[in-house]
Amino acid sequence: MVPDDLMSVLLVFRTDEGRPLTEFEINNSLMNLLLAGNETTTSLLTNLVWRLLEDPSRWAAVRDDRSLVGPAIEESLRFDSPVLGMFRTSLREVTLSGTTIPQKTKIQANYAAANRDPVVFTDPDEFRLDRPKEELRRHIAFGKGPHVCPGAQLSRLEADIALNALLDNFPTLRIDGPGERILPFNFWGRQRLPVAW
């Protein structure tokens, strides 16, 4: 019988060498899933609502034209990347843009900075609902290529459902006091976002 739930799959999984996953590997996989699947989507939602309510005309525009929901989500991901960056260790010495990075050096791939690159994005420090689709598709909030987040589409779907529900049920939503950012330094989201309607 083939397992149909993640925990069972992790318990019966065998590596290429035929060994089962260690307790550490299973726990690490589950923690990453819970963190990546929860914290990042929560931050996407709070950042999205924050930016739309920050300028009430944005909220009204998306409320009145639901074709803007998708672009608003992508612009939020670009403008306020829920994960600011990821740390890696260089496997060998490499030279990038004239700078030599020694082997075994801790480096950070900074998604937030890349998503504000003026070479790639017009008016990168402005939150725009009219940003061209070809620009929106270039953000790397979920990584890129083989390193893209496997939950990216689920996160987008959750944001779409949640935003439409808020627009339907709270059309007059507004900010009601100062917000507060979450504590982890490499994540970007709202711990508190007071709203009223």
Residue 105 has which token pair?
Answer: 């050096």
Length of the chain: 197
Q: What's the one-letter identity of residue 58?
A: R
- pLDDT-derived band at 36 (thresholds 50, 70, 90) equals low
**Angle, CA 156 vertex, CA 192 and CA 113 arms, to 5°:** 70
pLDDT number for residue 166: 98
Distance CA 121, CA 119 (A): 6
Domain limits, the chain = 6-82+111-196
Q: Residues 6 or more apart from 45 whose CB is under 8 A from it? A: 158, 159, 162, 163
The CATH architecture of the domain made up of 6-82+111-196 is Orthogonal Bundle (1.10)
pTM comes to 0.82
Per-residue model confidence as pLDDT tens digits over 176-191: 999 999 887 788 999 9
Residue percentage of the chain with pLDDT more than 90: 66
Q: Can you tell me the mean pLDDT for 108-128?
A: 94
